[in-house]
Amino acid sequence: MLVNIGYGNVVNMDKVVSIIKADAAPIKRMIQAAKDNNLAIDATCGRKTKCVLVMESGHIVLSALLSETIENRAEGLQERSSEDA
């Protein structure tokens, strides 16, 4: 299931392990380590990173949307797909 994570960027929610707010210091260190190892995918389009999506592959996706917004979008799509079934 593809979910819009802001500014025309989408992510496959079936491959997301967790969605984390980006304001804590340990998360900022995780982001820097991922950037150093070329495992960070920046989907913020130049805006402030507000949440981080950790993927099964070890990559992290940076988003400018709040984690609650992404969670609500994923739940909305999941509800719609279960109604169609």
Domain extent listing, the chain: 2-84
pLDDT for the residue numbered 72: 95
Which amino acid would we find at residue 5?
Answer: I
Residue at token pair 């960027």: 9
pTM reported for the whole predicted model: 0.92
Look-up of token digits 């984690």: 67
Q: What is the pLDDT of residue 11?
A: 98
The low-confidence residues of the chain, meaning pLDDT below 70, are 85
pLDDT number for residue 84: 80
For 26-35, the CB contacts below 8 A with 24+ separation are: 27/52, 30/60, 31/60, 31/62, 34/59, 34/60
SS3 content of the chain, % helix, strand, coil (to 5): 40, 30, 30
Q: Token digits for 7?
A: 């500014």
Q: Report pLDDT digits (tens) over 2-19.
A: 999 999 999 999 999 999
Q: Looking at residue 81, what is its pLDDT? A: 79
